[in-house]
């Protein structure tokens, strides 16, 4: 199944009909557990834990274990959509702060119901887990000094890998006079690999300030490939009293160390902002000159205000940068010699050609 079909199926399947109870099995040890955290607690490096479909109201910590935690089939959209780890509307759902490595695999879950300004779905610190085929959706913001902030996933001095993941349907819409700010993936120091992931359908609606970012890279080395960073939206409610609405698919900046970001084969499109005295929808925003940003073979198109804003970047070639969406390509005739269109090239096609010989074409 292609990435796009998988992600579309994940987002379309209703989360209903889930079993009332389910098993969590450590396949390596041959044991079953009542909760995911219990299974993690009893695990050792190299174990594989499989979670049956169901909704698990838990906040889990991987405890530095180099294990595989997965659903029954991470590449099956229906299985993933029905295997849910929910924070129940509060706190961080998954924590990796114990030195987890690339041998710590989290795969095939819907992660939802977190609420945090810093890391609602997944908190990574000094760790580098591998996260695949997960959907991060339905997380909530927390209010701080007059603004509701939401960061869905945050990596601080880590080195995580994300593949075939979706960050979608995360909405921040507080009541006035509170402002709104949301980030889907924040990479702060360290490094990250983001491959075949989809960021879209996330919104922030605030009173005077509203911001919505797909990926925020701060002083980190990040490789982003074959990703879709599109349809982020920010809006201010009080359009008559100034304010700012800003959205971007990718924000690259550096507080202290340099940020080195490589973007290849990505689509960054339809990021938009409305309202206030300043409404800005950027595809990619590069803020500081210390940043090294290389873009190649990517489409940065149709963002509401500017496609790439800020300091110069390195053009690796093969990019399409346009204020307009690309028109659909014309279908290619697989057999132009079949003049009469009957699916066979024969003397009838030759006769049609001779009959039209030297006639003027319209």
Q: In this predicted structure, what is the pLDDT of residue 345? A: 57
Query: Exposed, middle or buried: residue 324 (CB in 10 Å: 0-12, 13-18, 19+)?
Result: exposed
Q: In this predicted structure, what is the pLDDT of residue 340? A: 64
Q: How confident is the model at residue 146 (pLDDT cuts 50, 70, 90)?
A: confident
Give the Cα separation of 158 and 225 in Å (integer): 19
pLDDT surpassing 80 at residue 221: yes
- Spatial strand order of the sheet with 166-168 comes to 54-57, 83-86, 110-112, 135-137, 166-168, 198-200, 228-229, 267-269, 299-301, 320-322
Report the half-sphere exposure of 10 (CA within 13 A, side-chain side). 32
| pLDDT tens by residue, 89-109 | 989 999 999 999 999 999 999
List, by residue range, all CATH 2.160.20 domains of the chain.
3-332
Second CATH level (architecture) for the domain 3-332: 3 Solenoid (2.160)
Of 156-165, 271-280, 306-315, least confident by mean pLDDT is 271-280
Q: In this predicted structure, what is the pLDDT of residue 288? A: 75
Report DSSP state, residue 115: B
Tally of CB atoms within 10 A around 97: 18
Query: Exposed, middle or buried: residue 349 (CB in 10 Å: 0-12, 13-18, 19+)?
Result: middle
Q: In this predicted structure, what is the pLDDT of residue 294? A: 96
| pLDDT tens by residue, 52-84 | 999 999 999 999 999 999 999 999 999 999 999
pLDDT surpassing 50 at residue 14: no
Q: In this predicted structure, what is the pLDDT of residue 243? A: 81
Q: In this predicted structure, what is the pLDDT of residue 19? A: 45
């Amino acid at each position: 199944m292609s990435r796009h079909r998988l992600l579309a199926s994940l987002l379309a399947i209703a989360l209903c009909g889930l079993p009332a109870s389910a098993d969590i099995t450590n396949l390596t040890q041959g044991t079953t557990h009542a909760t995911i955290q219990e299974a993690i607690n009893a695990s050792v490096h190299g174990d594989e834990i499989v979670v049956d479909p169901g909704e698990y109201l838990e906040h889990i910590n991987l405890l530095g274990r180099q294990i595989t935690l997965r659903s029954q089939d991470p590449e099956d959209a229906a299985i993933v959509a029905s295997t849910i780890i929910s924070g129940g509307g509060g706190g961080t759902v998954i924590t990796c702060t114990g030195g987890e490595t690339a041998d710590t695999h989290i795969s095939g879950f819907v992660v939802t119901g977190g609420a945090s300004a810093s890391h609602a779905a997944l908190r990574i610190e000094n760790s580098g887990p591998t996260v695949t085929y997960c959907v991060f959706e339905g997380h909530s913001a927390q209010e701080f000094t007059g603004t509701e902030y939401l960061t869905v996933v945050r990596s601080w001095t880590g080195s995580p890998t994300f593949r075939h993941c979706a960050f979608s349907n995360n909405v921040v819409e507080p009541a006035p006079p509170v402002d709104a700010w949301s980030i889907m993936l924040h990479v702060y120091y360290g490094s990250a690999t983001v491959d075949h992931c989809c960021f879209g359908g996330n919104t922030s609606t605030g009173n005077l300030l509203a911001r919505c970012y797909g990926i925020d890279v701060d002083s980190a080395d990040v490789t982003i490939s074959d990703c879709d960073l599109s349809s982020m939206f920010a809006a201010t409610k009080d359009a008559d009293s100034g304010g700012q609405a800003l959205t971007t698919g990718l924000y690259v900046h550096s507080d202290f160390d340099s940020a080195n970001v490589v973007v290849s084969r990505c689509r960054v499109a339809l990021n938009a902002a409305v309202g206030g005295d300043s409404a800005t929808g950027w595809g990619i925003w590069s803020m500081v000159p210390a940043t090294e940003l290389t873009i190649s073979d990517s489409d940065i198109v149709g963002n509401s205000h500017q496609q790439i804003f800020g300091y110069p970047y390195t053009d690796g070639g093969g990019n399409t940068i346009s204020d307009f969406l690309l028109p659909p390509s014309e279908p290619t005739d697989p057999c132009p010699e079949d003049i009469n269109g009957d699916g066979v090239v024969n003397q009838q096609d030759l006769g049609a050609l001779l009959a039209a010989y030297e006639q003027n074409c319209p």
